[in-house]
């Protein structure tokens, strides 16, 4: 990876924000780049490993296998997101599956190098603690949402997508089967709920993936 690409990759990641340029450049020298084709595994649940992965471009699906053998979608990595923190601070076995959803570029840094960086930079250590705390908050929110109705889960998801993207009209980032996995329901229930919201004038469906939010306040009240 060219040095300027590595620095760009490092600069995208929340845990490296606020570090001095000198330290960001130091981290960039430790980063290794790989290109993935859609469907390639970065890591698999139970695999041993010792690398933190940063997504530079593309999209990566993070999932776990449920006790009954089904795939449970945890989140979708977007550029700037990172994965693999469990192997950095545990026995070195991945707890999630990480699969390229699109052709992607990743940057990786070894556990050994990352530990040395943590010991030498207090700001980096604070950033890591902050980001892991944010992950826990998101997981707790997802756990609570699983106790709500499918209607509430879908409404909350659409409202959060609208806030995140900053527009009323957007393409659903997940296929219905993946959205169903993420919201712990079925594709049929997703389709039925979206059609219900459309009939009630809350949203407008445009094709298979495009959504226009018509009544954001009503969606928020469903939550």
> How do the pLDDT tens digits run along the chain, 223 residues long?
444 477 777 877 777 777 778 888 888 888 888 899 999 999 888 888 888 898 988 999 999 888 887 788 888 888 888 888 777 777 667 888 999 999 999 989 888 888 888 888 888 778 877 777 777 777 667 666 666 788 988 998 899 889 888 899 998 888 888 888 888 888 999 999 999 999 999 999 988 789 999 999 999 888 6
CATH architecture of the region 3-145: Sandwich (2.60)
Alpha-carbon distance of 214 to 159, in angstroms, equals: 11
Task: Please check whether residue 181 is in contact with residue 83, taking contact to mean a CB–CB distance below 8 angstroms.
Answer: no
**What is the Cα Rg of the chain in Å?**
19
Alpha-carbon distance of 160 to 158, in angstroms, equals: 5
Q: Given the structure tokens 């709500």, which residue do they identify?
A: 148
Fold classification of 150-222 (topology level): Arc Repressor Mutant, subunit A (1.10.10)
Q: Where are the domains of the chain?
A: 3-145, 150-222
Alpha-carbon distance of 107 to 123, in angstroms, equals: 21
- What SS3 class is residue 152? helix
Pairing relationship of beta strands 51-57 and 203-206 according to DSSP bridges: unpaired
């Amino acid at each position: 990876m060219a040095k300027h690409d590595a620095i760009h990759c490092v600069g995208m990641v929340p845990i490296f924000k606020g570090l001095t340029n000198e330290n960001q450049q130091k981290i960039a020298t430790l980063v290794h780049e790989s290109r993935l084709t859609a469907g390639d595994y970065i890591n698999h649940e139970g695999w041993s490993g010792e690398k933190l992965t940063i997504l530079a471009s593309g999209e990566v699906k993070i999932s776990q296998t449920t006790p009954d053998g089904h795939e449970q979608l945890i989140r979708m990595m977007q550029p700037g997101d990172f994965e693999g923190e469990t192997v950095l601070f545990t026995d070195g076995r991945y707890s999630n599956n990480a699969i390229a959803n699109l052709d992607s570029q990743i940057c990786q840094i070894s556990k050994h190098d990352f530990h040395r960086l943590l010991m030498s930079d207090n700001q980096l250590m604070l950033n890591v603690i902050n980001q892991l705390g944010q992950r826990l908050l998101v997981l707790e929110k997802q756990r609570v949402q699983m106790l709500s109705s499918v209607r509430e889960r879908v409404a909350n998801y659409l409202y959060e997508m609208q806030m995140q993207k900053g527009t009323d009209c957007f393409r659903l980032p997940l296929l219905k089967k993946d959205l169903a996995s993420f919201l712990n329901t079925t594709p049929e229930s997703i389709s039925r709920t979206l059609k219900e919201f459309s009939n009630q004038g809350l949203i407008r469906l445009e094709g298979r993936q495009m959504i226009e939010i018509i009544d954001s306040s009503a969606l928020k009240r469903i939550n």
